[in-house]
Structure formats: structure tokens, C-alpha cells
Amino acid sequence: MADAGKQTMADANAKAGSQAARPLSPHLQIYKPEVNMVMSILHRITGSALYLGTLLLVWVLTAAATGPEYFAYVTGLLGTWPGLIVLFGYTWALLHHLVGGLRHFIWDSGHGFDLKTIDVLSWGTLAVSTLLTLAIWGYVLLSAGGADL
């Protein structure tokens, strides 16, 4: 009977000690952090942050649709230092995820899998996203003359 076979395997697994002290597959803490591994983790973290960040985007759009007073209130909040730090982080997360996505497109095409290129692409993702973020915020803060969203 098919059931008899299943029963035997289940019994074997349920035997005392048979599941104890089996070697587990190695997890994150056992590896030396490599840059492509860190960028992969950051891609997921920035993606998750952007998921929540859409609330910020939609909040501003809703405020604009609501009226001048509420819009001034919301942009006033975003213009405070904590608000600006959140917006700066949002910008970096968006750009990091965007540039990381372009890197994944290169890999999707089947190119760039040799170790040296992987390192270059991974460091490049961090460098390009960070430089773009600084450039954008440098431009905004210099042209707008300070903390006014």
C-alpha cells in the first residue's frame, strides 16, 4: 500500500533523535560578506522601503488634491530636518533599487557573470546611486536655497 510507505518514512522521521543535530545548510553568518551579496540584500531592503515609501508619494499627491492649507502643512513637515532626511533616504533607496535593477537586466541578458565584472557592477551600483543622490540633493538645496522641500 502507498500509505504504508508514507507511514514508514514519517515514523522514521519522528524517531527520537533522528532530527537532532543534523548539519544545517550554512546561512548568512557563515560567509564573509561579498559586495554582490551585500548589494543583493540592499536590493531587497530598498525594495521593501520603497514599498512603504509609496505612502509618502501618495500622501503628497493626496495633499495636493486636498487643498493649499493641507498641502502647505505636509510640505512644511517634509521640509523639517527629519522630513528632509526621510526624503534623502527615499531618493537613495529609489536610485539604488533602480540602478540595481539595471544591473540585474545585464545579468538577465546572460552577461557579466565573471567574478571581476560582478564586483565592478556591484560596487558601481553603490557608487552611482550614492553620487546621483548627492548630485540631486546638492542641486535641490543649492537652487531652492535651503530647507523648503
Partner 1 sequence: MTMRTPLKTVRGLGSAKEGADHFWLQRVTGAANALLATFAIGLGVHLAGADHGEVTATLKHPLVALPLLLFLVSAALHMRIGMQVVIEDYVHAEGAKIALLMLNTFFAIAVAAAGILSILKISFGG
What is the C-alpha separation between 124 and 29, in angstroms, rounded?
A: 25
One-character DSSP codes across 27-42: -GGGSPPPHHHHHHHH
Binder among 37, 41, 57, 106 for partner 1 (CB under 8 A): 57
Contact window for partner 1 (CB under 8 A) among 1-9, 20-28, 31-39, 136-144:
136-144
For the chain, how big is the Rg over CA atoms in Å? 24
If one asks whether residue 76 binds partner 1 (CB under 8 A), the answer comes out as no
> Per CB under 8 A, does 121 bind partner 1?
no
Q: Which residue, 8 or 106, has its beta carbon nearer to partner 1?
A: 106
Residues in the chain: 149
CA 130 – CA 132 distance, rounded (Å): 5
> Within 10 Å of residue 10's Cβ, how many Cβ atoms?
9
Count of beta carbons in the 10 Å neighbourhood of residue 105: 10
- With binding defined as CB under 8 A, does residue 98 bind partner 1? yes
11-19, 27-35, 99-107, 121-129 -> range binding partner 1 (CB under 8 A): 99-107
Q: Looking at beta carbons only, is 18 or 62 nearer to partner 1? A: 62
80 belongs to the binding site for partner 1 (CB under 8 A)? no
- Residue 42's contacts (CB-CB under 8 Å, 6 or more residues apart) are 96, 100, 126
Q: Looking only at residues 3 through 42 of this chain, which bind partner 1 when binding is defined by CB under 8 A?
A: none
Q: What is the DSSP letter of 59?
A: H
Q: Which residues bind partner 1 (CB under 8 A)?
A: 44, 47-48, 50-51, 54-55, 57-58, 61-62, 64-65, 67-68, 71-72, 91, 94-95, 98, 101-102, 104-105, 108, 110, 136, 139-140, 143-145, 148-149
